[in-house]
Amino acid sequence: MLLDVLQNLRAALTPSAVLGGLAVLLLLLGSAAAGVVCTGRNYALGRELRQLRRIGVAPGQSNMRDQYDAQYDLPPGASASRPIRIKAIYIHPVKSFAPIEVDRALLTKSGFMHDRCFAIAAEVVEPDVDTGARKTFWRFISQRTKPAMSLVKTELWLPHPGSDPNHELVRSGGCVVVRFPDPEPPSWLRWLEALLYTWNPATAPDVCFIAPLNLPTHHVDKVPLRPFVIHGRTAQGIDMGVVPSVAAALPKLKKFLKMADSTPFTLFKCTPDTLVRTTRNLAPLKYIGSPAVHGYTDQQPVNVASLSSVHDFARLLPRENQPLNALRFRANVWITGAPAYDEETWKRCRIVPRSAGGPDAPRRARVDAVLCVVCRTSRCTMPNVDPGRGVFDTDEPAADKKRGRPQPSTALIQHRTVEAGNNAAMGYMGMHCVPEDRSLHEAQEQNAGLYVGVGDEIQVLDRGEHLYGSTGDDY
């Protein structure tokens, strides 16, 4: 009987039958894969973003990919043979999350458009310094306490000329997409979706959500501004927890950052109504025209840093901490062509456009942006965070020590405490700047944007000495 069955089976397994069976199997597997993809979060996200265009430099094409090259070694006092130029531009849509590199950015009174327009904050309970009574308030969170924030990626999506004006995200002016590794063990469906999306079996599923750049008017009217604290000052923002996609992702983001489940936690959005005047290191009104304002930046609207300065400082680090990734300093504009620390003598500079941009780019004003350089950037512990690993770096511990010293802050304190203006500074690197009104107004009169682009030339207009806090706190 068994022999008869085997013989009948052998007779039935003709090449055409085998190929037909394989075709059916592949069809079933393909249908299953398509079902996983089409019901997955990445597919749904793509449909939500179909009327928008992603902004930024393509992965693998970073203008800073050669940042360690010796061609950028220009020691202090060296003679420069080339013009000072902008090498790279970064915006940080969510404060302390990973940045976005762009080829050009729109300069506004409060800094680059979309830079630090969101911030993460948590509710804390602390004793009042005067009364000792316990008080509850919201305070922003940064990499100084949550280094894993550097692993939270952001994408900027904006409308384009062909966008449907009635699409919800188009009416919101675009959105920021936030991605981070899923802190929970993935189901086999989530793992399969990640595999089919990336074709990398080692890729862990991520969590992503959309934060619109502007809420609909009927939402804004119902969501009052909420205060929270940034570095001792009170900021305000719209609680984006009212957005369903944001609210759904916040618990997982909290878990990824290893925060207690019971801690209230949300995402705040800056608005034109929440901009505040800068209160220290004030730029002269005769240059900037009107008092400087900013949103969620630490102190001033724009930060400029020099790659040659980072190179010169990096030589002073322990060997195990070299080379030093310049992106640890989270500047907006990176320049090359100037000797190390030359930027610390600038008082005003002009940005001369190199090109008008591509045919699809927004119209660039025929005017040079001018920045008033107001002070050195005093550093905290954030440069100690390795942006690629989301952990604090140290040097090798001494023989009698269990832990190494935090780097590069230890070396910054030792070698880059070049002034005594800020007792809390952990060294200085980079310069704070304020846009001048004249160029902003001229661009507005031309009905064009005051864009700053990679390759633009920097011309120094005035030089002088800087001392942190020396200009007082009143215009």
- Tokens coding 44: 């749904």
- Tokens coding 27: 């069809």
State pLDDT tens for residues 119-153.
Answer: 999 999 988 777 878 899 999 999 999 999 999 99
pLDDT at residue 128, rounded to an integer: 79
How confident is residue 38, by pLDDT bands cut at 50, 70 and 90?
very low
User: How far apart are alpha carbons 409 and 330 in whole angstroms?
Assistant: 15
How confident is residue 81, by pLDDT bands cut at 50, 70 and 90?
confident
Q: Residue 127 is which amino acid?
A: P
Rounded-to-10 torsion of CA 451, 357, 335, 448: -10
Q: Give percent of the chain above pLDDT 70.
A: 84
Q: Cis (ω within 30 of 0) for the bond into 408?
A: yes
State pLDDT tens for residues 327-354.
Answer: 999 999 999 999 999 999 999 999 999 8
Q: Cis (ω within 30 of 0) for the bond into 359?
A: no
For 49-73, give one letter per residue: b (16+ CB within 10 A) or e: bebbeebbbeeeeebbeebbeeebe
Pick the more confident residue, 78 or 221.
Answer: 78
* Single pTM value for the model: 0.89
**Per-residue pLDDT for 356 more than 50?**
yes
By the 8 A CB rule, do 297 and 116 touch? yes
Strand partners for 159: 52
